[in-house]
Amino acid sequence: MRAEPAAVPDHALAQALLLRGDESAFRELYTRHTPRLYQLVLRLLGGAEHDAEDVVQETWIRATEALGGFRWEAAFGTWLTGIGINVARGLLRKQGRWQPLDDAAEPWRPPPRDGDRIDLERAIALLPAGYRSVLVLHDVEGYTHDEIGERLGIAPGTSKSQLSHARRALRRLLEPVKEGSHEHA
């Protein structure tokens, strides 16, 4: 039985990309890290596929440009994801879909719905961008409130309160629609 050849570490691929502009090294890094990055930004952007593709492309451009300054204190994938979150947030802001996350703001209430029960992915996509970001990063990706605060430029306490609002809103969105009742107090 032949042993699988050892995978080239991210660090070595990044060095080849940085020093020689090695395309095959870039493609290997892309293949390893893009599926996770794409899924994350797609959720952050509420399922907008074209926007998510643009964000992934821009993320790789920025990462390749900044590779020389990356100190490898974190994993390459974590660093790349951080850039992706920033790019996604920038796009949402540019589109006017990113409202400042504020403890004092009135919690968002889902609008009354008609029709069938919606699935979880759709419900997440319906949340306001701020709620969605905190919920996705915490409850799906496993970030702590400190990490979310750092990524989104908010206080950890704000992340906690936004998560609380986001979870309530998500539960309401997932509740079965009762005929003749659109109450969502």
Partner 1 sequence: MSTHDGMEEDEMTPELRRALNALPRERDPGRLLEERTVRALRERGLIERPVAGGRVRRIPMAWLGGAVAAGIALFASGVAMGQWMGTRATAQVVQAVQAQNDRQAALLVQQTGSAYVDALEQMAALSDSGKAAPKEGREVATKILRAAADELVRIAPDDPIAGAVLAGFQRADSAQAAGAGQKQRVVWF
Is residue 140 a contact residue for partner 1 (CB under 8 A)?
yes
Give the span between the Cα atoms of 164 and 168, in whole angstroms.
Answer: 6
| Identity of the residue, 22 or 113, whose beta carbon is nearer to partner 1 in the bound complex | 22
Is residue 30 a contact residue for partner 1 (CB under 8 A)?
yes
Is residue 34 a contact residue for partner 1 (CB under 8 A)?
yes
The three-point CA angle 39-168-128 to 5° equals: 50
Give the span between the Cα atoms of 152 and 114, in whole angstroms.
Answer: 34
Whole-number minimum distance, CB 96 to partner 1, in Å? 25
Assign 64 to helix, strand or coil: helix
| Identity of the residue, 113 or 168, whose beta carbon is nearer to partner 1 in the bound complex | 168
The pair of structure tokens assigned to 101 is 């996350």
Task: Tell me if 165 sits within 8 A of 107, measured CB to CB.
Answer: yes
Positions touching partner 1 (CB under 8 A) are: 15-17, 19-24, 26-27, 30-31, 34-36, 38-39, 42, 52-53, 56-57, 60-61, 64-65, 78, 120-121, 138-145, 147, 160, 163-164, 167-168, 170-171, 174
